[in-house]
Structure 1
Amino acid sequence: MIQSAMPTVAVRPTIRLTNRVSAMQESPTLAVLNRATALIAQGVDVVDFGPGEPDFATPHSVAEAGKRAIDRGFTKYTNASGIKSLREAVAARYNKRYGTSLAVEHVITGCGGKQELFNLALALVHEDDEVIIPAPYWVSFPDQVAFAGGRPVFAQTRAEEQFRPTLASIEAVATERTRGVILNSPCNPTGAVIRESELARIVEWCVSRDAFLIFDETYELFVYDGNEHASAARWIEQYPETVILVNSMSKTFAMTGWRLGYAIAHPDIISALGKIQSHSTSNPSTIAQQAALEALTGGNEDAQRMHDAYCERRGWLVPALNDIPGFCCADPDGAFYVFPEVRAFFGKAGITDSQSFASYLLDEARVAVVPGGAFGADDFVRISYATSMERIREGVARMRAALGKL
């Protein structure tokens, strides 16, 4: 048998990644957290204030609905935008809460709120469009806009104003290329909750500028001290070409791993999102859809228990942090994070920024926090109180001891 000679290759083939992928940053929250995870895997006792997910289990009735879906063979493809009954349940929930008249054609479900935000960037952002994002911001907003060919522009908020976005800060960075605004309330990482009066002004401004407003309300039920969640849903029927809502099952129903979120918008926008989704993930998990349907049509008792636990933890944590010399922590109105300023520690023991501050805490105190630089605010760190009160107390004690050495 005659074997053919292998071709001679003078130069090895290369992997050519596109510019849009090369420009993307891996989630910057992961570096310190990956180190923390590695230490925990080695048996090291680390108090982990990093997770952006509830420390509660998925409600029993919701998990059981997912199991029933498997048992009944509900494991095939569905419509790429999700089953009709789930989309109807989303619409009904908003209609009941806000007096809207939304229908199934206004709703799409996907593999988490993150997917719908990404799809919205692809659907609405043109090349070189500018999209205004209040800072501090959730880490994925800028990269999603940039991946779509747009340019993220940051409107700075102030710790003295509890990081609430304002129309003035948005107007200060607007140009003739401004195409849209992305708001997140309650906010990850700051816990800021926008006031309804300010939201109304921003909505009207977006309408006047023919700019879209994407309103991410993933943490909507976690608002404290008598404050109320202001939802852009109040304007979605008056300005259907402008207002777009994004929400998720992840935080309210402790379903982060189920990957189920949704968007509410003008039917033409929903159709565009469905088109994109049909060529990427297709439908979200059929099992997760059935679980989400149970969550939306059942009671809110489990969510209320989470809310009350977070409220108690927050009430203890904020004054405890402010009692540590050098910490300056605003009292957040919502979500399950605090965002203290730690600039007073810069210049000590090699600490120069939020990243090195977080590394110091991990090395010296075995406490994991997320550097604020990941969120566009390098003088701060994010601390999640989605963990037990016992661990919160232990973590604060460790930080106090380690920072007391500086």
Structure 2
Amino acid sequence: MKLSNRVQTLTPSQTLAITAKAKALKDAGHDVIGLGAGEPDFNTPNFIIEAAKKAMDDGLTRYTPSGGVLELRQAIANKMFKDHQLNYEPDQVVVTTGAKHALYTLFQVLLNKGDEVIVPTPYWVSYPEQIKLAEGKPVYVKGEESNQFKLTKEQLEQAITEKTRAVIINSPSNPTGMMYTKEELEALGEICVKHNIIIVSDEIYEKLIYTDQKHISIAQLSEQLKKQTVIINGVSKSHAMTGWRIGYAVGRKTIIKAMTNLASHSTSNPTSMSQYGALAAYSHDDQPIEEMKAAFKERLDQTHEKLNQLPGVTCLKPSGAFYLFPNVKEAIEQTGFETTEEWVKAILEEEKVALVPGAGFGAPDNVRLSYAIHLDQLDEAITRIDRFIKRHIQV
């Protein structure tokens, strides 16, 4: 049976593949430390769970509007004003089955065949695949490690063609954890306004920041940038709700209406009780987030320092998210491996530590590791990686 051309172009998610392989080894009785998954190791706060239970007890288990219940869309609009001083109406918000589906739906309604989307590298693994599924073309622009992996104004200007439809800005970034400053966003925004390019602003990690730097949405910098920006966000990372599958997009009414119409023919609506859980999340203060952040910061500080002590490994310190993205090119060369994928596979097989090779993010000299696990496990993982490198170093 012949499959469609569009699915045959897809590259499987390396993060999910590594996680699945680590789980298989663990199920077979091995002591595996998985550093691949992109989700908090905290359970969803109890008040959110109780809100979802109440919704079920109250019979709120039926279809909802395709774009999400009005109360949640209003709560998201209120959040946008509280956090960014941005005024949106509920009909400028669409609630989706996770932020990933918000991105997928957005590209489906934005792109025609051959339209280009500028994708700074390193990138989250699903960006290019979703663009290709919409028959668009991802245009990769390398974020240099010397510039914290970030896209510059000059690079953006040079990458634009008559086919350019949009650019993706992910801050804080997955996989690097780096953030754009206000000045950097203003410079990029100037180019986007000049060329009338839509900005896809992925802000899913906005609440997980460990420095004094404040998260800034590019949409809040000017009224024109607000019109050209679609903000993607959700409760998965900020409220430890990855399995609840609630994300959203915020932007101009025509785009949001098109996304809502498409959702009506795909998912029908996000899960009803999950929406009421998300409503509770956005009706509460940020104290549960602060407690999680404190744990992540401690893990980041300690693990980052130890990573930089490994032979042949260097790692910039990220500002947010919960990933480290060390450069392991020298370590790979010293240990006699040809590629990052081979190196990562050997570490998993020999030391039972699961890392994600950077090639899946467009950065083949790096690996991604998540510090969303207990500090004791992180310490043990670094010890095992150190042992692996020293055992394989070519003398």
Query: TM-score with structure 2 length normalisation?
Result: 0.97
Once the two structures are superposed, residues 194-215 of structure 1 have per-residue CA deviations (whole angstroms, 9 ceiling, x without a partner) of: 1111111212211111110000
Task: Give the SS at the match of 1:404.
Answer: helix
Task: Tell me, yes or no, if the aligned pair for 2:218 and 2:226 is still in contact at 8 Å.
Answer: no
Question: How does the TM-score come out when normalised to structure 1?
Answer: 0.94
Task: Please tell me the residue identity of whatever aligns with 1:189.
Answer: P
Aligned to 1:391: 377
Q: 2:170 matched to which residue of 1?
A: 184
Q: Give me the whole-angstrom Cα distance separating, in 2, the residues matched to 1:99 and 1:322.
A: 39
- Contact 1:350/1:356 (CA < 8 Å) preserved in 2? no
Task: Work out which of the two has the higher radius of gyration on C-alpha atoms and give 1 or 2.
Answer: 1
Residues 134-213 of structure 1 correspond to what in structure 2 (within 5 A)?
134-213=120-199
Contact preservation (8 Å) 1:244, 1:265: yes
Find the partner of 1:261 among 247, 257, 262.
247
Deviations 1:173-194 (A, max 9, x none): 2222211101111000000101
SS of 2:91's partner is helix
* 1:370 counterpart residue number: 356
8 Å Cα contact 2:15-2:37 kept in structure 1: no
| Secondary structure class of the residue paired with 2:233 | strand
Summarize the alignment of residues 341-380 of structure 1 with structure 2, pairs less than 5 Å apart: 341-347=327-333, 351-380=337-366
1:128 is aligned to 2:114: yes
Aligned partners of 1:240 and 1:265 also within 8 Å? yes
Alignment of 1:324-339 (within 5 A): 324-339=310-325
| Runs of 5+ consecutive residues of structure 1 not aligned to the other structure | 1-14
1:250 to 216, 219, 236: 236
Give the conservation status (yes or no) of the 8 Å contact 1:327–1:342. Answer: yes
- Does the alignment pair 1:38 with 2:24? yes
1:98 aligned partner:
84
Alignment size in residue pairs: 392
Structure-1 residue corresponding to 2:98 = 112
Paired residue type of 1:388: H
CA-CA distance at 1:87 after TM superposition: 0.1
Which runs of no fewer than 5 residues in structure 2 stay unpaired?
none
Query: Where in structure 1 do 4 or more consecutive aligned residues deviate above 3 Å?
Result: 235-241, 347-350
Aligned amino acid, residue 271 of structure 2? S
Q: Secondary structure at the match of 1:70?
A: helix
Letter of the 1:105 partner, please give it. D
Aligned pair partner of 1:301 in 284, 287, 292: 287
Q: Residues 219 and 125 (structure 1 numbering): CA distance in 2 closer, same or farther, change over 3 Å?
A: same
> Does the aligned pair in 2 maintain the 1:162–1:331 contact within 8 Å?
no
252-261 vs 217-226, which moves further:
217-226
Question: Taking structure 1 as reference, are residues 399 and 387 closer, same or farther at Cα in structure 2, changes over 3 Å only?
Answer: same
Letter in 2 for 1:331: K
Instruction: Tell me the CA shift for residue 236 of structure 1.
Output: 6.8
Q: How far apart, in 2, do the equivalents of 1:400 and 1:239 lie?
A: 46
Rate the CA distance shift 1:57–1:384 in 2: closer, same or farther, 3 A: same
Tell me, in whole angstroms, the C-alpha distance in 2 between the residues paired with 1:116 and 1:182.
14
Distance 2:390 2:89 in 1: 57
Contact 2:311 2:331 in 1 (8 A): no
Give 1:34 deviation, angstroms: 2.1
SS at match of 1:144: helix
Write the distance in 2 (CA, Å) between the matches of 1:389 and 1:24: 35
**In the aligned structure 2, how far is the partner of 1:333 from the partner of 1:166?**
18
Q: Write the distance in 2 (CA, Å) between the matches of 1:147 and 1:158.
A: 27
Question: Cα 1:334–1:82, aligned 2, differ >3 Å: closer, same or farther?
Answer: same
Identity score, percent: 39
